[in-house]
Amino acid sequence: MAEPLRIALAGLGTVGSGVIRLIETNAQLITRRAGRPIAISAVSARDRNRDRGVDLSPYEWQDDLTTMAARDDVDVVVELVGGSDGPALTLARNALRQGKGLVSANKAMIAHHGMELAALAEEHGAPLRFEAAVAGGIPVIKGLREGAAANRIERLYGILNGTCNYIVSTMEDTGRDFAEVLAEAQAMGYAEADPTFDIEGTDAAHKLSILSAIAFGSRIDFASVEVSGISRILAADIAQAEALGYVIRLIGMAEADDGHLFQRVQPHLVPFDNLLAHVDGATNAVVVEGNFSGRLLFQGAGAGDGPTASAVVADIIDIARGMDTGFEADRAFSIPVAGLEAMVPAASGSRLSRAYLRFTVADRPGVLAEITAAMRDASVSIESLIQQGRHEEGGEVLVVMVTHECPEASIAAALRLLDHSDSLTAPPMWMGIIGD
């Protein structure tokens, strides 16, 4: 049998501990499938004494991350530290410069520094893999890089953050408002103590920018992703969407056309008969549309120790099989870095779409006329309009409308006309509508 592939594991949180459990539990199966054993040479984390539910005594403890990649008994470094910069990035750079393979679940680091790391990997003939950085245990990166490699990808979109999907689908099931469901998600461990990256869409945007690069052969451009999250969604929005035949989901969407790249993360209304309408809980799902393959759906657990560890170890197995040597080592993003196109961010104003708009307004005469006049002056045609009954005299009411298809610039212009209106008591909520 071939010599073991020796790995160093940095970061022993839920995913790192899950990697150790998976390698130990399925050791014989992994050896058969990889063609060689996977051996853990060293481990490292901030707190050596923390109980992680796994026995670390068989493995050498490495206090200094800066020297981990230089060890003679390490072929691949597995980076599970997290964070876009700092120790994780230093470790990643050191590993690739040493010609060691790098496997990472760090979507923030890849989104911000993926081009640099891929160039280092090519320069030093080292494999770079990051399947676990996007959608947990779902092999969507492998699906794009390999299964759909012969296709021109025309569009990809999906649910890329399990925390947000858990919150909106629970609001949908229970009728409760955002703050209450978020608190429950935090208590259950689905949301972080500081959930900002999740609920404001940043986590999904990191993942979308990585998928876009692989799907469209473009350089990663996280900065051009338009991002809005779910924190302003009300139970009333969920109820109105349902009455109109939709559910609300946080959707990441990307399209490339004639050298221009459109990337957006935004809550959308999704029709009941769409594949994504039935993805609930902490599940992720990605739809990829290829010009020959047609529509492909990748769906599964988007986070958690087991699914994410599964993706990490799958990358390690690929390296052990020798799939990341020679030609394959130049394909972290499907195309060598020099061949990736620097696409121009696409202006969204000319995009044609229907929109859901919700206004929180003072309950007084003339408000509805003011809103509809702004729509008229911006050439936005209203398909349907609902004004909820008053809750108390002189209080606030909600006005909800769905527009006909029109340029997004027209919707933005209508909202600008209402910017300084004292009739609106809160900023309007604008959500896209996925086509029926």
Nearest to 435, CA basis, from 358, 354, 357: 354
Nearest to 423, CA basis, from 378, 387, 381: 387
- Average pLDDT rounded to a whole number, residues 262-269: 97
Which two structure tokens, joined as six digits, stand for 114?
A: 């993926």
- Average pLDDT rounded to a whole number, residues 148-161: 95
- Average pLDDT rounded to a whole number, residues 324-329: 51
pLDDT of residue 155: 95
Percent of the chain with pLDDT over 70: 96
For the cut 90, the answer to whether the pLDDT of residue 306 exceeds it is no
Q: Domain 352-433 is of which CATH architecture?
A: 2-Layer Sandwich (3.30)
Q: Where are the domains of the chain?
A: 5-136+306-339, 154-301, 352-433
pLDDT of residue 16: 94
Residue 157 banded pLDDT, cuts 50, 70, 90 = very high
In angstroms, rounded to a whole number, what is the distance separating the alpha carbons of residues 278 and 332?
32
- Average pLDDT rounded to a whole number, residues 394-410: 91
- Average pLDDT rounded to a whole number, residues 367-383: 95
Residue 327 banded pLDDT, cuts 50, 70, 90 = very low
Percent of the chain with pLDDT over 90: 80
CATH number attached to the domain at 5-136+306-339: 3.40.50.720
For the cut 70, the answer to whether the pLDDT of residue 328 exceeds it is no
- Give catalytic residue positions: 207
Give this prediction's pTM.
0.93
For the cut 70, the answer to whether the pLDDT of residue 432 exceeds it is yes
Kindly report, residue by residue over 218-259, the tens digit of the pLDDT.
999 999 999 999 999 999 999 999 999 999 999 999 999 989
Instruction: Please provide the average confidence, as pLDDT, over all residues in the chain.
Output: 92
- Average pLDDT rounded to a whole number, residues 67-71: 90
* Residue 27 amino acid letter: A
- Average pLDDT rounded to a whole number, residues 63-70: 87
Fold of 154-301: Dihydrodipicolinate Reductase; domain 2 (3.30.360)
CATH topology match: 154-301 vs 352-433? no
For the cut 70, the answer to whether the pLDDT of residue 83 exceeds it is yes
- Average pLDDT rounded to a whole number, residues 263-270: 97
**Residue 307, beta-bridge partner list:** none
